[in-house]
Amino acid sequence: MDILQRHHVSTYGSGEKALVFAHGFGTDQQAWRYVAPAFAARNQVVLFDLIGAGRSDKTAYDFSRHQTLDGYVNDLLELLRALQLPKVVYIGHSVSGIIGVLAAIREPALFERLVLLAASPCYINDGDYIGGFDTADLEEALGFLDRDYYGWSHAMVPGIVGGDMRSELVDEVVSSFCEVDPAIARQFARATFLSDYRTELSKLRIPTLVVQCAQDTVAPSVVGHYMHANLAGSKLEILNTTGHYPHLNAPVATISSVERFLASA
């Protein structure tokens, strides 16, 4: 199976610029359906599933390779090379935002701009740094996920998505989480929530937009301010919405934020 099939890549739209959308933990490329089409009239749109998610080739998931985010970084770089596109605008939600940062540090020639949507370089509170979780609380949550992934998904995801998300979308996100193999979810969750990439931010030299939600229990708005302060030349937008999924919960505001960033080129 070639790499495009492996990631279930789908493309549409037209234009010289290519926008690559990368989903976060627990969802797949369908999470972009309210946002990505808005850019298709003037841009190429590229959607894909992380290995282990959506309609990706699940047999390509490697418990050694994907033990840390480096495995996903390697996947992304291989995918971008295979697409043979000019420099791309990469739009990454949550953990995929940081995957994009790490990839752009390693191979900046592949990237024109980055958009980090509800991303975080570190989820654990550490001294003056507020990541959103105390270590003990996070370990308790990961222990629950380890013991009963489906129970964890039904209990935790509604709170993560935000209180003002439509009920049918909440149900959809819960279902998306439940479609992930629990063994893969357990490892990906630890690779995500126990990671700390704060020291990497200063190495990025690609123009970046940081988009954070005003109220987000997973990646608080203060995290957005931290990334903005540590990403040279970055821009910051705080969306007046709740939860961790602004592309589902506030797609119009998300689209507008990205459009302003692209227009500022």
Let me know: does 200 contact 73? Beta carbons within 8 Å: no
Tell me how far apart the alpha carbons of residues 131 and 129 are, in angstroms, rounded to a whole number: 6
Cβ of 22: how many Cβ atoms within 10 Å?
26
Q: Which of 28, 244, 247, 257 is catalytic?
A: 244
Tell me how far apart the alpha carbons of residues 137 and 197 are, in angstroms, rounded to a whole number: 20
Q: Quick check: is 244 catalytic?
A: yes
Cβ of 62: how many Cβ atoms within 10 Å?
12
∠ Cα 7 177 137 (to 5°): 120
Q: Which of 75, 93, 94, 96 is catalytic?
A: 94
Q: Which of 195, 216, 247, 257 is catalytic?
A: 216
Residue 208 structure tokens: 């970046």
Let me know: does 62 contact 30? Beta carbons within 8 Å: no
181 residue type, one letter: D
End-to-end CA distance of the chain: 37
Interior/surface letters 45-59, b for 16+ CB within 10 angstroms, e for the rest: bbbbbbbbbbebeee
Catalytic positions: 94, 216, 244
